[in-house]
Chain A
């Protein structure tokens, strides 16, 4: 379907630079009450072919960061300071310096964002075919037959019956079908990077699984580079190679999926993990994170998590920690990450194979 994987990986091998690099990105919204600091100081490299999940509570800035990359933020938003470098075929551009037209080109051909499958992600009066045709035309693709062939191919890829879907209006489709149509449309112009915002939220379990399988196929067979945005940790565990935890607009921990889920070093990440149960794993006592997220207009001093953190000391109240290395390819922004490590040694997480074994041993007892 695409040859994405190859040009990308060669690119990164040749110049040693990630295709997408965010440097010191800040986003704020102007409101009557004041400036909402939705994203602060985000520095991040997205590697070719990898999938990265952004997790965190509601309001932590996940969607804002996604919108900043494709520059679809509302007028009241300001991206400053910061730079977002995009590299392809030896060229490098700062997305924040592109003009409106250049950005529009980038948006579908290089990077597409898939919004939650709400009806309002579509134009309600256009049939699916018309939505695709409009998009294609807007990008100078006028070969109707070819566009149609591509759309049919993509609808088949997302396991929809093109005959049934192509002439349907969005409201005639179920939530799961709409999400798959959006995914197909986002692939129309062969982008290299996909940003998916809450790709499975509000869908039924079995439909969620269909979407997860499709996304895995995109990743594994087509080598797409993807960013998943979700408040649901399970989506990160299912799909991500790396996970970034966001809190109050900042990335507070970043690491391989296994590191984040089994060896978290930031108290907030640990709190999130201890708050969600698994289904087929063993039983584990869960805990809430005390308090609630901060007011982004009037942020706390020091570490923004300190009012809710059980590890906090006086230092945390005045000095804000930066991301530091806590293991290979694993960073966390916490003065006391070693204490989190100690805490996990005292009270390990019952996750992974261990919890599987617990569940199985229960099962054998039940059977015997």
Chain B
């Protein structure tokens, strides 16, 4: 199948002169229609920057974004508008993205009318009520007159999702969409998002720093791991979490706290050579993980940037030294 979205050598630099940082460095991946891909990695590794370039909110310094096979830079204005509608982004903090002076009705009917998705106000209202049902904000009739501050964090996030759905997107970038929501209701939002995959054939790029959430949401999909602006490993979720090959992926998976005392005590402990993460302003040469990596090979890892190469077990990894080594995470 042809990918719905593809990025090639996507790069984003911020700042000028000595202060330039490369927040995203030559990132390439393709996502098939209906697939769920999770982008994971620690704070500052470039996840949101990648997501914003995918959604057309930020212009890449170099590299391409292709949507439905077309380079978005080559689209005419109608084409570009259509692409911007087809790719919606949902942010971590719905409070910041919802206008506090508007009711849910206004928040939902305005885009429906503006983009001619409905004929008139009455249809817009009916569609808004339908969308509230879709995101499980029921009874919809009670919800539609509320202001954002009258809703809980989880409910606001549902409104943000409903608003994204007004323009009938094919692709949703969910950037830490449930990170601020209490654990007890997180799952119901994830379940609702998963339903959109089937109901509306929406393809997801799910951005999170939480590996447990990534595993759950993309169990049948893929995980892509970023470190300091580069992809270090990707692959089918079930392979990646049971048989990670990149030393950084292994370090992350072994470090992540587990909500299970037995697992917590049976995790392999991986000692990094250096605890602190380097600054983007002063990146190490070669593999940027080499100053911390327990498998560092002097003369090789600190000279050459490892290419992201296909793995026999599925996916890609950027570590020639360890790509064939299986390391059990539980001991």
Contact = CB atoms under 8 A, between A and B. Distances in A.
Interface of A: 57-58, 159, 174, 176, 200, 204-210, 212-213, 231-238, 257-258, 261, 271-273, 275-281, 283, 286-289, 292, 351-353, 355-356, 359-360, 362-363, 366-367
Interface in B202-219: 209, 211-213, 215-216, 219
Interface of B: 42-43, 152, 154, 182-188, 190-191, 209, 211-213, 215-216, 219, 238-239, 241-243, 251-264, 266-267, 269, 272, 275-277, 313-314, 326, 328-330
B258 A208 contact: no
A174 B276 contact: yes
Nearest to B269: A213
Nearest to A233: B259
A366 B183 contact: no
A234 B257 contact: yes
Given A205-B42, A205-B256, A276-B212, A58 B261 contact: no
A359 B267 CA distance: 13
B212 A288 contact: no
B212 A212 contact: no
Contacts of B183: 57, 231-233, 272, 275-276
B258 A289 contact: no
B275 A210 contact: yes
User: 4 closest Cβ contacts across the A-B interface?
Assistant: A234-B257, A209-B255, A288-B188, A289-B184
15 contacts: A200-B257, A204-B42, A204-B277, A206-B251, A209-B254, A232-B259, A234-B259, A234-B264, A257-B261, A275-B184, A277-B216, A283-B219, A288-B185, A356-B263, A366-B313
A351 B277 contact: no
Given A206-B255, A356-B263, A231 B182 contact: yes
Contacts of B263: 237, 278, 280-281, 351-352, 355-356
A286 B255 CA distance: 23
Nearest to B330: A356
A258 B259 CA distance: 11
A187 B71 CA distance: 58
B243 A363 contact: yes
Interface of A is mostly: helix
Contacts of B252: 205-206
B188 A366 contact: no
A353 B257 contact: no
Contacts of A238: 257-258, 261, 264
A284 B215 CA distance: 10
Contacts of A234: 212, 256-259, 264
Which of B251, B256, B263, B276 has the most chain A CB atoms closer than 10 A to its own CB?
A: B263
A69 B176 CA distance: 35
B187 A281 contact: no
A261 B187 contact: no
Nearest to B211: A279
Contacts of A174: 276
Contacts of A275: 183-184, 186-187
A287 B186 CA distance: 9
Given A277-B213, A355-B263, A237 B187 contact: no
Nearest to A283: B219
A275 B188 CA distance: 9
A289 B191 CA distance: 13
A288 B314 CA distance: 32
B148 to A, nearest CB: 16
B258 A280 contact: yes
Contacts of B251: 206
Contacts of B267: 280
Contacts of B188: 288
